[in-house]
Structure 1
Amino acid sequence: MPRAYEETHPWITFKFRLDRELDAECWLLLGEAISKIDHIAGVPLQPDLADELGRIYLSKGAHATTQIEGNTLTEEQVRRRVDHDLDLPASQEYLGQEIDNVVAGYNLIVNDVVSQKIEPLTADRIRRFNELVLQGLEPADDHAVPPGHFRYTSVVVGSYRGAPAEDCTYLIDRLCGWLAELRSEAKGGDYERPVAILSAILAHLYIAWIHPFEDGNGRTSRLVEYQLLSEAGAPVVAGHVLADHYNRTRSAYYRELNRTSREPYSLTGLIKYALRGFVDGLRQQIIEVQRQQLGTAWHNFVYEVLNKDTPAVSRQRKLLLALPPEGVPKANVRTLNGELGQLYANKDEKTVSRDINALEKEGLLMKQKRGVITTVRPRHEIMFAFMSPTARTS
């Protein structure tokens, strides 16, 4: 007997052809995404730096996941909430509760992955995510379906009507089985990891199509996506990239999402949009990781080269390590931080010039003339042992 959704939502097919839905650009993006996931996963970082990066991207993920649903807290406020350092007025506490709930969902997934006891994606798991994201929040009305329960009423979001309520349980069960089958068929082959990443995007899309809950569908879908990306080998920081991408490009996100439910019901545009954002975000994470690694390596290198304990050398070390990568006008060197201000308080400009010239002679600093202003910057490029000269100057 046909189900209602087959007539009202013919785009919900549980079919996906790799050769039809993915063009050459999609495959290139998938390959780069997998390479960059492995790069980030294998990067050694000091524990305090790794923890800081983890908090940065957890905050970005929580901010994106809630802001796209209307939460008005800034990224800075979300970071403070993650650090348990943001008290809100009673009238705004629900905004903080939304953040707390999403963070609890992310942490649940991370803890499961670390303990290697992650629950497979099932209807119960998805209901649990919905219960988490709505915990402690006021329902829309007194007759609302409780969190963690599939809806039994019709729901419209914008101009889109969710799948028939009577089919929600069937559709979510079917979705979980279908995704497990896709991944099982690819297991051990060349397509295993590409399919694992695609399954995360498909799960997000199908939950948006089905809209199985009265509230919290978007947040629930992004937790599902995060779990599947984690299972695909994405490090904890990389799992937040897609949510951040959707939030930063909301108009494109909704445009591509809407196109999937219009004839000819192609998924190529949405998948390409998601993969482009995923790869761009991973590139930015690698740049940030490299910046953190460079800071540590540069600090050690400076102490190795400037290894004397004289007052002059100690002052030069502090000057060099305080310089930002882009450099500063020479006249501003004294005020880079309070410690330098104290060190140069009783020194004349000749001392500053001697210190800069000594660092330049060691090859650790570069002076540049820009009109009448002389700028100084650290020569970080000497740390990039295998980078081509063209890339260094581009």
Structure 2
Amino acid sequence: MTNLGTQMRQYEESHPWITFLPKIDDIGYESWLLLGEALSKFDHLAGVPLQPHTAEELSRIFLSKGAHATTQIEGNTLSEEQVRLRVDHDLELPPSQEYLGQEIDNVVTGYNRIVDDVVQRHSLVLTVDRITEFNRIVLKDLTGPDDAPPGTIRTTSVVVGNHYRGAPAEDCAFLLDRLCQWLGDLRKETIATPLERPVAVLSAILAHLYIAWIHPFEDGNGRTARLVEYQLLLQAGAPTVAAHVLADHYNKTRSAYYKELRATSERPPYRVTGLIKYALQGLVDGLRQQIEEIQGQQLGVTWTNYVHEAFQEKTTPACTRQRQLVLDLPLKWTPKSSIRELTPQLALAYADRGEKAVTRDVNALEAMGLIVKAKRGVVTVVRPKVDALRAFMPLVATSS
């Protein structure tokens, strides 16, 4: 194999798996099925109307998950809860740990930069300059005086994880440029065809893989690769919340991630199909979970509207108190004796009333079909009858 006429580059001997020629047709029918499901779920998530505060909360949840995953897989020890606080500008760290927060800040800046470019319709063409800019972003204020400046393609040899050597330094700039050209060609070849979006998703996974193979920077390669992957997923039609799923998957299944990554370069024929299937399965699993969470949010909104409609003609103080009670009940069995302590609103509503008032309200709500009452030993427990809403949902047959 040769490039540029008869000139042989060093990576062709040292890294023969870097070919820019994976046969997409060979990924297997299971991966194609997963691709179809992923794209369908992208469209599902993108078309779901949410209340503004719900949409904002979900965006921040999954931004935090993405930032946590992207940095934790590289060794950041902050918990997901701490990352969420940092995203909300509400986490102060001691000086010795501030670099951990800076890593989070940088990755969030990278994600937001990409989203801003989408919103403002800036060019999303993947170039060497764009990849080096991502590296500058993720390494901002994290390098020492003896380190190469962020965004600088390395000039020395590197070993990754004590077993994998990055591509020869003299070939890194060439390989990054070749990667950008190759991905651009794939996009041009499939644009306006049924393969456009499936190939775009595959391109995101392959771009991540090739940056891991090339390892073009002294530091921040993994975070840079995941920003590239995030951008390409957005270009494939993934909503912003869904584009964080792959990073979260890699982090949660880290041993499998490294195993599949190693398998692509350990021995001929250097197949990438295993990594692709692993990534697509994680993507689909994560999307299913996101849809379940959003369905739960929607069910809660629908339940609230259903309860308000049930009380539309009921305006007495007792009815107002009963409506508050059913809306404040959690979606689990709650001892009747604990009702007045559930929320400050209920504590105030029952402050001057005895236990009989709670019993009357529970019985009234049961008669309205809004709660279910049961016995657990000698304890009476209640929960909202949210299942009543399923009567209004499309009928689906179950397999037997």
TM-score range, shorter chain: over 0.9
Alignment length, in residue pairs? 389
Alignment of structure 1 residues 58-97 onto 2, 5 Å:
58-97=63-102
String of CA shifts for 1:24-68, please: whole Å, max 9, x gaps.
Answer: 211111111011110110111111211111111111111111111
Query: Partner of 1:375: helix, strand, or coil?
Result: strand
Query: Does the alignment pair 1:358 with 2:361?
Result: no
**8 Å contact kept, 2:372–2:383:** yes
For 1:94, give the aligned amino acid. Answer: Y
Partner of 1:253: 257
Distance 1:229 1:389 in 2: 32
1:151 lines up with 2:154 in the alignment? yes
The unaligned stretches of length 5 or more in structure 1 are: none
- What is the alpha-carbon distance in structure 2 between the residues aligned to residue 382 and residue 197 of structure 1? 39
Distance 1:389 1:380, change over 3 A: farther
What SS does the aligned partner of 2:69 have?
helix
**Structure 2: how far apart are the matches of 1:288 and 1:163?**
42
In structure 1, distance between residues paired with 2:56 and 2:42:
18
| Aligned residue number for residue 379 of structure 1 | 385
Shift of 1:347: 2.4
Distance 1:336 1:389, change over 3 A: farther
Counterpart of 1:85, as a letter, is D
Once the two structures are overlaid, the 10-residue window that deviates more, 337-346 or 121-130, is 337-346
Query: 1:270-281, aligned counterparts within 5 Å?
Result: 270-281=275-286
Note the C-alpha offset of 1:345: 2.8
Among 148, 155, 166, the residue aligned to 1:162: 166
Asked if 1:347 is matched to 2:350, the reply is no
Question: Match of 1:132?
Answer: 137
2:229 aligned partner, one-letter code: E
Please state if 1:234 is matched with 2:238.
yes
Q: CA deviation at 1:274?
A: 0.6
Counterpart selection for 2:395 from 382, 388, 391: 388
Q: Which amino acid aligns with 2:255?
A: S
Tell me if structure 1 keeps the 8 A contact 2:143–2:149. Answer: no
Residue in 1 that maps onto 2:330: 324
Which has the higher mean CA deviation after the structures are superposed, 11-20 or 29-38? 11-20
Q: What is the distance in 2 between the residues matched to 1:301 and 1:124?
A: 53
Distance 1:36 1:327 in 2: 32
TM-score (norm 1): 0.95
Q: Which residue of 2 aligns with 1:111?
A: 116
- Contact 2:179–2:210 (Cα < 8 Å) also in 1: yes
- 8 Å CA contact 2:143–2:150 kept in 1: the answer is no
Query: Does the CA-based 8 Å contact 2:12-2:18 persist in structure 1?
Result: yes
Q: Give the counterpart letter for 2:331 in structure 1.
A: P
Give the corresponding residue for 2:60: 55
Q: What is the alpha-carbon distance in structure 2 between the residues aligned to residue 87 and residue 343 of structure 1? A: 39
Q: Which residue of 1 aligns with 2:315?
A: 309
Confirm or deny: 8 A CA contact 1:109 1:118 kept in the other structure: no
- Give the letter aligned to residue 144 of structure 1: D
- Judge which range, 112-121 or 274-283, deviates more: 112-121
Q: Which amino acid aligns with 1:204?
A: H
Whether 1:187 aligns to 2:187 is no
Q: For the structure 1 residues 388 and 353, does the alpha-carbon distance in structure 2 shift closer, same or farther, using more than 3 Å as the test? A: farther
CA contact (8 A) 2:340 2:350 kept: yes
State the 1:387 CA deviation: 4.2
Distance in 2 (alpha carbons) for counterparts of 1:164 and 1:143 = 21
TM-score (norm 2): 0.94
CA distance in 2, matches of 1:181, 1:197: 15
Per-residue CA deviation, residues 193-217 of structure 1 (Å, 9 max, x unaligned), is 1111110000000000000000000
Distance 1:311 1:362 in 2: 17
3-state SS of the aligned residue for 2:255?
helix
What residue ranges of structure 2 are gaps of 5+ in the alignment? 1-6
**1:285 is aligned to 2:287:** no
The one-letter code sitting in structure 1 at the alignment partner of 2:72 is: Q
One-letter code aligned to 1:381 = D
- Rounded to whole Å, the distance in 2 between the matches of 1:83 and 1:258 is 36
* 1:147-205 superposed Cα distances (whole Å, 9 cap, x missing partner): 10100000001111000000001101011111111122111111111111110000000
SS in structure 1 of the partner of residue 373 of structure 2? strand
The CA deviation string for residues 272-320 of structure 1, in whole angstroms up to 9 with x for no partner, is 1111111111111111111222222211221111122211111111111
**Contact 1:102/1:219 (8 A) holds in 2:** yes
| CA root-mean-square deviation | 1.6
For the residues of structure 1 that align with 2:119 and 2:242, how far apart are their CA atoms? 15
Name whichever of 185-194 and 123-132 sits farther off.
185-194
The 3 A distance-change label for structure 1 pair 220 and 347 is: same
TM-aligned CA deviation for residue 232 of structure 1: 0.7
Instruction: Please tell me the residue identity of whatever aligns with 2:141.
Output: G
- SS of structure 1 residue aligned to 2:117: helix
